[in-house]
Structure 1
Amino acid sequence: MKTLNSKISDLTKKIAKELLKCKIGTKIPTTPELAHKFSVGFGTIDKAMTALKEMDAIKVQPKGQMGTYLLEKNSAALWSIMDSGPIRGSIPIPNTLEFQGLATGLKESLREKKVDCSFSIKNGATLRVNELLNHQCDFVLLSYQAAVSVCEKHNNLKIIGTFHDKSYYGDIIILTRKNASKEVKDWRIGIDETSLDNIAFTNDLFEKNQKVKVMYMHIPYLIADGVIDAAVWHSSQLVPTKLIETLTFCPVDYDVTEKGIDSMAGAIVVNRDHEEMFSLLTELCDIDRILEIQNEVIARKRIPYS
């Protein structure tokens, strides 16, 4: 791109964005269409297209009156040419090995394909989904059950990758006080209404109990202080050491595939309105590689991203 004048360079970025949306084997926009769209001459379009070919970003095949077809495309190269900066993901606070592993897998697997990735950190699926809907990020990491729920609600959102069982939650437990009443039906249960998973788990396990709205990260302290009696908790998430003598936990035998939805698996969701990003991530997200890196983090054979 450095050898191109500024006009051709800017146009090349714009055409790269258009071609990133195209599927291999399909007809690409014609020279007249691109010239009209970007208000430039045919010769300028030809120079930009030649630059993209020389940078090995695309390979095309003219077919006369049928048009020109996309034979190959290097999505990572097209994204780099667009000069749009890193892909932005919104993820939960990486305070469990599962979350750390998925975040590291996403970042490293994309970096291996020469695409940078940055994260915003938001606890609560609804907060992350709002970022995606408002175009403040390019993808979100959710549990599969949350992903199914939000995609049913918002037609423009789509799951592009699903991880295996327990890739998102290793297990869930019930966190409670050691001196809590033995009458479970009398317990006040903390529920974080920004978390679709916490809502689902809590309502399934404590359907008739009194619910108290809380922030998920405050749960151990609220239980210890007697504000609530128990809450659903991620089994591999740390509890503050000063509360260890006060708190205890109960394992949960939870049906993770109720209604055919794997509630312990993770998923990547994107906004289809952002066509070039939808295409880029659909092509570049390597689920097997992400899980391989996650397993290395969980086994402490790889340092999590920082």
Structure 2
Amino acid sequence: MNDFYKKKGIAIEKIASELYLLKENDRMPIMTELQAKYHLSRGTVQNALTFLKNEKAIATRSRGHLGTFIMSIDHKKLQRFANAEQMVGTMPLPYSKLYEGLATGLYLMLKEEDIKLNLAYIRGSKERIEATEKGTYDFAVVSRFAAEQEIQNGRNISIVLSFDHSTYLTKHILIFAEDDKNHIEEGMKIGIDKDSLDHFLMTKELVKNKNVELVDYPANQLIYAIRKKEIDAGIWNYDEVVEKGWTDLHYVDIPKKKFHQDTSEAVLVCSNNNSLVQSLCKNHLSVERMHTIQEKVKTGEMTPRF
């Protein structure tokens, strides 16, 4: 009996997840499709559908040879039966107001939909994307540049939401250890973070055809290394420098390239195998509201919550 109820529960969860992606007047998947996709018997699938109909999560109508169609659908109930009341995401450590605004926006918008959000803060976009692709996390927040690079490299992920320019950071700057330096010179030691796609590729672009030494440093330790003069220069986030009032640092703007703009845009990526999470994010997260929340956190009108 325990095996029976366990199998029935799994079937209800999977079928509810499948139906959550539909809307009124959509055609229902046929029985054999659901059996094959989830490796369930016909009777188990039928029991799961009957349960969801009895709970008024869905109502259907047959249209003869055209198939069966959704008459009404309660996404809230399907969300509960799909065990989609909790999500786990990953993003950078919120050390800037923009990152705090991103985390706050995600938390508040999902909370309004009765979805509990747990966030893991992981350094390095490559690691965040890899963990999301594997299913360790439901989604990852990275820059558009990092996401598109990894998609081109064959990662099984998609950009689900794009939050527009200057939502990830305002811009990158090049910081020097010496106040009289304004450009990279031959023989300099330049900090580079190999775990951050943005930092790694931007640094590579800046030092192209220059005889310099690249020193592997986690990006969040670059400021320390520059102040200690362990390296001569490194790329960093302008927002943190301004917000923390680091007036002792000498920096210049980085010459604009196309991908520099893409590094300023925050995007949310999901595994292509997780259509339910993709649908939840598209249905419950608003780009416009994210902009409003980020601005309020940035100006101090709203206290960060995450």
TM-score range, shorter chain: 0.7 to 0.9
**Residue 193 of structure 2 aligns with which residue?**
192
* Counterpart in the other structure of 1:230: 233
**2:20 is matched with which residue?**
20
Q: Greater shift after overlay, 63-72 or 194-203?
A: 63-72
> Bigger shift: 171-180 or 31-40?
31-40
Q: How do 1:153-164 residues align onto structure 2 when only pairs under 5 Å count? A: 153-154=153-154, 156-164=156-164
| Residue 175 of structure 1, CA deviation | 2.1
Q: What residue is the counterpart of 2:64 in the other structure?
A: 64
Letter in 2 for 1:222: A
Say how many residue pairs are matched: 296
Query: Are residues 164 and 67 of structure 1, via their aligned partners in 2, closer, same or farther at CA, if it must alter by over 3 Å?
Result: same
Q: Deviations over 1:162-184 (max 9, x none)?
A: 11211111122222224566773
Q: Report the 3-state secondary structure (helix = DSSP H, G, I; strand = E; otherwise coil) of the residue aligned with 1:128.
A: helix
Is the contact between residue 16 and residue 82 of structure 1 (CA under 8 Å) also seen in structure 2?
yes
**Helix, strand or coil for the counterpart of 1:305?**
coil
Deviation at 1:73?
4.2
Q: TM-score, normalised by structure 2?
A: 0.84
Rounded Cα–Cα distance in structure 1 between residues aligned with 2:7 and 2:183 = 73
Q: How many Å separate the matches in 1 of 2:117 and 2:224?
A: 34
- Give the C-alpha shift of residue 10 in structure 1: 5.2
Structure 1 residue aligned with 2:40:
38
Is residue 34–residue 40 contact of structure 2 (8 Å, CA) maintained in 1?
A: yes
The one-letter amino acid of 2:230's match is V
Is this contact kept in 2: 1:34–1:45, CA < 8 A? no
For residues 171-186 of structure 1, the aligned pairs below 5 Å read 171-178=171-178, 184-186=184-186
| 1:105-141 CA distance string (max 9 Å, x none) | 1111122222222111111111101111221001111
Offset from partner CA, 1:265-303 (integer Å, 9 cap, x none): 111111111222223223333211222211111111111
More moved, 149-158 vs 26-35: 26-35
The aligned runs of 1:76-155 (5 Å cut-off) are 76-154=76-154
Q: Structure 2: which 5+ residue stretches go unaligned?
A: none
Contact map agreement 2:178 2:232 (CA 8 A) in 1: no
TM-score (norm 1): 0.84
Residue 38 and residue 287 in structure 1: after superposition, are their counterparts in 2 closer, same or farther (change >3 A)? same
